[in-house]
Amino acid sequence: MVGELTWSRRVVGLWIPLAALFVFALFPFVWMAATSLKTNAELYDPTSNPLWIRQPSLEHYIGLLKESNFIVWVGNTMLVAVVSTLISLLLGLMLAYPLARMRFPGAALLAITVAVCYLVPQTLLFVPMADLINRMNLGDTLSAVMLTYPTLLVPFCAWLLMGYFKTVPKELEEAALIDGASRWRAMTQVILPLCTPGFLSAGIFAFTLAQNEFLYALLFLNTSTIRTVPVGITGELIRGDAFYWGQLMAAAMLGSLPVALIYSFFVRYYVAGLTAGSVKG
């Protein structure tokens, strides 16, 4: 009797909420996949079930690859996301490490400033950013977004890495310094290996944000061949009041695959970085 009661509580308290969350999370992707695999005739049939496919077809995927610059957009997106992520991780590390591990006047104020900078909305920054990019003659180039994305990513990476650096016992670093290691060597050979989950977590977040960024890309990238995926599909697959839903959903499915693969490979480190787990001696 006690076992049955415990099992019932477990089902009601754990499995049912998990199942509901699972359905809620996957529902948009199922709808997107079903839409991308329908023919136009079935897609615009008002009697058709949105989640049921009567005649599966790859015509939208084929049309997307043949009639648009989607492959070029994907390459541009990956290049911009990788470069922006590397720059942001490097600068975020240079900012987070001294704030988390060293004592100097104004450190607390600077840490708060980093958090505040992350909260500043893009709508307040894109006007001065646009003026700066025009002065540097970088308009309509990928360099424009590679330089502007870190302004959003560096504060976030620094904020996340600061929290993780603080979980590493200072005794480990002090022992390395006593043994003759420099501050740089202590950071690279002692602290960073222990903070790998946090570093990967910050990198995944930065990559995802850079890949999905829309406002700066819309502002700075005008030529079709240098656009990223978010701007490309909305600029060329939405024409006036005509929405090419099949190709839009096909592009969304293909565009989400890189991030999904990255999360699947590094999910263990990603979760560890979010929870800022402690270092065991």
Looking at per-residue confidence, does 281 or 222 come out higher?
Answer: 222
Which position has the token pair 């615009």? 44
- Mapped to the 3 state alphabet, what secondary structure does the chain carry? CHHHHHHHHHHHHHHHHHHHHHHHHHHHHHHHHHHHCCCHHHHCCCCCCCCCCCCCCCHHHHHHHHHCCHHHHHHHHHHHHHHHHHHHHHHHHHHHHHHHHCCCCCHHHHHHHHHHHHHCCHHHCHHHHHHHHHHCCCCCCHHHHHHHHHHHHHHHHHHHHHHHHCCCCHHHHHHHHHCCCCHHHHHHHHHHHHCHHHHHHHHHHHHHHHHHCCHHHHHHCCCHHHCCHHHHHHHHCEECCEECHHHHHHHHHHHHHHHHHHHHHHHHHHHHHHHCCCCCC
Is the pLDDT reported for residue 86 higher than 70? yes
- Least reliable range by pLDDT among 24-28, 91-95, 219-223, 265-269: 265-269
Is the pLDDT reported for residue 88 higher than 90? yes
What residues does each domain of the chain span? 1-28, 68-275
pLDDT band at residue 72 under the 50/70/90 scheme: very high
Mean pLDDT of 43-57: 82
pLDDT at res. 279 = 43
The per-residue pLDDT for range 225-256, each reduced to its tens digit, is 899 999 998 888 887 777 888 889 999 888 88
Indicate the CATH number for domain 68-275.
1.10.3720.10
pTM above 0.85, yes or no: no
The per-residue pLDDT for range 155-196, each reduced to its tens digit, is 888 888 888 888 888 888 888 888 888 878 888 888 888 888
- Least reliable range by pLDDT among 68-82, 230-244, 261-275: 261-275
Is the pLDDT reported for residue 273 higher than 60? no
Which position has the token pair 């839409």? 35
Is the pLDDT reported for residue 117 higher than 70? yes
Is the pLDDT reported for residue 267 higher than 50? yes
